[in-house]
């Protein structure tokens, strides 16, 4: 098992042990790829969601919010193309009986070549030092060129097969690349089949086909069908956006890697309505804006990358992913799509209602074009966890696990700890609590030694701890301990609200 596998396993156990994430219905041995968020998980998830809402809705006068229902009229999904085309290509291994997504098996091979090239670059950097010219190296090094040729060849064949919907060609590519089942090592594959990812259920008590409705597989369609309602009530003019956070459901073929891919998840989506012909400029705008947002979550430059789509979805004329480097490789966290006027036009056709905008400047009616930003809340949660989890050796020979979360995201902002459970220290600590509790999520803890209590807060990602000691009773000062440096400073109690608010604020980030 690689170091990265070990690290990921430790992150997963940490999430369970410290009350971030539990397997769903665990007492019944869980349910595949469904998870529950515990006391600290819900706080962290909520903070990420709030940060998205603030960045998108609060800070943009021309973006408004919406909360549409999960159930929608079934024609919605006919119009959007999901009934006919929301499929993944699946393939089974006949020996291990394990099921895979054919596209993922192929993409994994491509990623291996990419990683090989990244390693070549790293090695060369070390060898040539300051004299290293990366552009020239990429253009001339024979190993790099050979790997790149392989990548282009695979992607070329894959793209042709996808565009033609040619499942046999996809299977042939898997055979030609000699892809083996990662579990059994066997190359004994079935044919590739398409599998629709939507969950269906029945509305009302009659189980007949006409009552079949779907659990929404994306939140976007709730925005499109409300386009006119929002336009007519929000005094917005094009360009403007509608933002929504909500649950989506997909019957994923393979749901592994913890909360990375689950069957029930949350999306934070924004559909931005623009003049036809102006979509590419807005696409570039949102591409840049969204990367900025991810950086504000504390992800380093080298942890994020853009990845252009090989084949755009049936509704899009441009699409890019923002990927984060998880311990299991670079993977999609957000999709930014130029969706043209596809969805609104489809809904016009299926509903018989006009979904148009009158542009007073052009004196013209048109169906707006749409640029979408769609990010997974749970995936962002996982990225934040992976980015923050650290196992540190301390100078005194001990070790600690610390979640170096950006302070504004931390589930608990301040741990309030009386040094002892006597001499009036708990009472004084309660006074400090009352001073801060209306503005921040706090944690009061008087059990165990102070060292153990600090460790517990480090493991939860609490950026600051306030300790109330005997000196506090004399001069009304406390110590404020910083999670990352473990340094402590003495501070007057009446200064705490201002200092803490500054430290855990998010204003400077956007
Ligand atoms: P993937 O290729 O990983 O299946 P996708 O391209 O189908 O994802 P989109 O339809 O663009 O994903 O959805 C937007 C975002 O929603 C994704 O970037 C991801 O963060 C999140 N998402 C999609 N499917 C899942 C899932 N099954 N579990 C968790 N998050 C998901």
Q: How far is the CA of 188 from the centre of ligand 1 (A)?
A: 29
Contact between 41 and 220 under an 8 Å Cβ cutoff? The reply is no
Residue 208 confidence (pLDDT)? 66
- Is the shortest distance between the CB of 376 and ligand 1 below 6 Å? yes
Residue 209 confidence (pLDDT)? 67
Closest by CA to 60, choosing from 254, 225, 239, 319, is 239
- Is the shortest distance between the CB of 45 and ligand 1 below 6 Å? no
* CA 51/CA 47 separation, integer angstroms: 6
pLDDT, tens only, 205-223: 666 667 889 999 999 999 9
Q: How far is the CA of 196 from the centre of ligand 1 (A)?
A: 15
Closest by CA to 232, choosing from 380, 132, 346, 354, is 354
Q: How far is the CA of 379 from the centre of ligand 1 (A)?
A: 8
- Is the shortest distance between the CB of 265 and ligand 1 below 6 Å? yes
Pocket test for ligand 1, best of 250, 267, 313, 322 (most atoms within 8 A of CB): 267
- Is the shortest distance between the CB of 240 and ligand 1 below 6 Å? no
Residue 184 confidence (pLDDT)? 87
DSSP lists the bridge partners of residue 277 as none
- Is the shortest distance between the CB of 261 and ligand 1 below 6 Å? yes
Return the ∠ at Cα 383 (arms to 92 and 66), rounded to 5°. 95
Contact between 241 and 289 under an 8 Å Cβ cutoff? The reply is no
- Is the shortest distance between the CB of 267 and ligand 1 below 6 Å? yes
b (16+ CB within 10 A) / e for 114-124: eebbeebbeeb
Residues lower than pLDDT 50 in the chain: none
- Is the shortest distance between the CB of 250 and ligand 1 below 6 Å? yes
- Is the shortest distance between the CB of 252 and ligand 1 below 6 Å? yes
- Is the shortest distance between the CB of 374 and ligand 1 below 6 Å? yes
Nearest CA owner, ligand 1 atom 20: 376
* CA 416/CA 312 separation, integer angstroms: 51
What's the pTM?
Answer: 0.89
Residue 395 confidence (pLDDT)? 85
Residue 168 confidence (pLDDT)? 95
Pocket test for ligand 1, best of 89, 264, 379 (most atoms within 8 A of CB): 379
Closest by CA to 86, choosing from 315, 331, 307, 323, is 315
Residue 481, C-beta contacts closer than 8 angstroms, at least 6 positions apart:
454, 464, 465, 466, 467, 487, 488
DSSP 8-class letter at 446: -
- Rounded to 5 degrees, φ, ψ at 262 are -125, 170
Residue 206 confidence (pLDDT)? 65
């Amino acid at each position: 098992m690689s170091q990265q596998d070990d690290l990921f396993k430790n992150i997963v156990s940490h999430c369970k042990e410290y009350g971030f994430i539990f397997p769903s219905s665990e007492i019944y041995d869980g349910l595949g790829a469904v998870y529950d968020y515990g006391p600290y998980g819900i706080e962290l998830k909520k903070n990420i969601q709030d940060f998205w809402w603030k960045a998108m809705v609060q800070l943009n006068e021309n973006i408004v919010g919406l909360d549409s229902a999960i159930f929608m009229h079934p024609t919605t999904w006919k119009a959007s193309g999901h009934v006919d085309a929301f499929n993944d290509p699946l393939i089974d291994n006949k020996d291990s009986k394990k099921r895979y997504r054919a596209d993922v098996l192929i993409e994994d091979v491509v990623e291996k070549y990419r990683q090989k090239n990244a390693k070549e670059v790293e090695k060369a950097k070390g060898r040539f030092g300051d004299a290293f010219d990366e552009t020239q190296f990429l253009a001339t090094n024979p190993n790099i060129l050979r790997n790149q040729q392989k990548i282009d060849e695979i992607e070329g064949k894959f793209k042709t097969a996808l565009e033609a919907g040619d499942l046999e060609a996809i299977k042939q590519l898997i055979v030609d690349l000699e892809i083996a089942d990662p579990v059994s090592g066997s190359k004994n594959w079935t044919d590739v089949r398409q599998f629709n990812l939507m969950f269906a259920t029945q509305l009302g008590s009659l189980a007949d086909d006409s009552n079949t409705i779907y659990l929404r597989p994306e939140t976007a369609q709730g925005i499109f069908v409300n386009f006119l309602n929002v336009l007519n009530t929000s005094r917005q003019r094009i360009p403007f956006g509608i933002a929504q956070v909500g649950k989506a459901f997909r019957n994923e073929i393979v749901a592994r890697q913890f909360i990375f891919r689950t069957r029930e998840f949350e999306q934070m989506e924004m559909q931005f309505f623009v003049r036809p012909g102006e979509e590419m400029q807005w696409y570039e705008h949102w591409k840049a804006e969204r990367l900025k947002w991810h950086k504000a979550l504390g992800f380093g430059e080298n942890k994020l990358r853009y990845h252009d789509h090989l084949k755009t979805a049936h509704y899009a004329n441009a699409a890019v992913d923002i990927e984060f480097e998880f311990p299991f490789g670079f993977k999609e966290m957000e999709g930014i799509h130029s969706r043209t006027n596809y969805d609104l036009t489809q809904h016009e056709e299926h509903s018989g209602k006009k979904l148009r905008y009158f542009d007073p400047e052009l004196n013209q009616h048109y169906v707006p074009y749409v640029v979408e930003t769609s990010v997974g809340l749970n995936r962002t949660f996982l990225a934040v966890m992976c980015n923050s989890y650290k196992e540190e050796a301390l100078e005194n020979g001990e070790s600690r696990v610390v979640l170096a979360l950006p302070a504004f995201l931390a589930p608990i902002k301040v741990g309030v700890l009386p040094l002892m459970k006597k001499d009036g220290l708990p009472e004084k600590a309660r006074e400090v609590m009352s001073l801060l509790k209306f503005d921040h999520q706090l944690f009061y803890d008087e059990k165990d030694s102070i060292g153990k209590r600090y460790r517990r807060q480090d493991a939860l990602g609490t950026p600051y701890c306030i300790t109330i000691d005997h000196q506090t009773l004399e001069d009304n000062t406390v110590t404020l301990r910083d999670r990352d440096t473990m340094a402590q400073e003495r501070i007057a109690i009446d200064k705490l609200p201002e200092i803490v608010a500054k430290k855990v604020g998010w204003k400077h980030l956007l």
